[in-house]
Structure 1
């Protein structure tokens, strides 16, 4: 099994393996190009995003945008992300249709062993799934392995440490259910 296959399977892997280094370097290059464009250069911006994450429909991401690989990110139709989106996509990140992210949102599939010695040489990941019609407020952090159900609203500054059922408002650190949507 290659290090990339281990990574995508959520197993411990070596992030410094040449194939993974090359894939990350390409994603960093594309993110850099995207972030340097004038906001009015929509065609060039769309070309880069399409090459990086292959959205499934209408997609608008404001600069700055950063990711580890890009190839592990899937966004549905009518996706909008405000400034400073960070997605650490060592495992799959799947985002549904009609989803909005506020500024400074961070999704991290990457995690590390608790043991200090083991942490020196390996890392692993857990996928993130975000349903349809979800809104993440500004400064929301989504931790590895989280699933967020359809029609969830996550309040600004929340840290999502457990799965979210959806169809409600959730907020806090750790994020918890606040009220149902009417």
Structure 2
């Protein structure tokens, strides 16, 4: 595999893993905010799809024709990070797949040193290459996949890629509870100030 193929493979894998975080969840759980800033699963997918369309479309002069009203100048702040009641899960998943197809076409068509311009970046660093944007989107997608990992674990306890994930130590629920308790005890022992009990 050459460098472009390696980067493209990583991007495809992270996209697939991000979308899989919705599997088996109802409408409420894919949409509900689980952090003080409102982070939610379907909103993460909407955001990543939207920015991917911009980076591999507009940046390289390849019109995408996708209406993205949540990114317009008159949209409310962070409208790309949550899903309204009249936006369906199917629409957001379709947007994610469309973004992937449009991006893949750009990646396939251009060499790594192809130049583009990111109009929403400061002028001094606006000029970019396809290689830079590929790395940027691998990092962006992986960052939001990490957010989604934590959200999914908070929703139903599913961690990583699910049962059998080689990156997770195999433990029973009881073993995980004991492991967490050891970490909590270590944190309390290291702290000179008494801390309130954390939620279970």
Q: Name whichever structure is richer in helix by fraction.
A: 2
Q: What TM-score comes out, normalization by structure 1 length? A: 0.26
Q: Name whichever structure is richer in strand by fraction.
A: 1
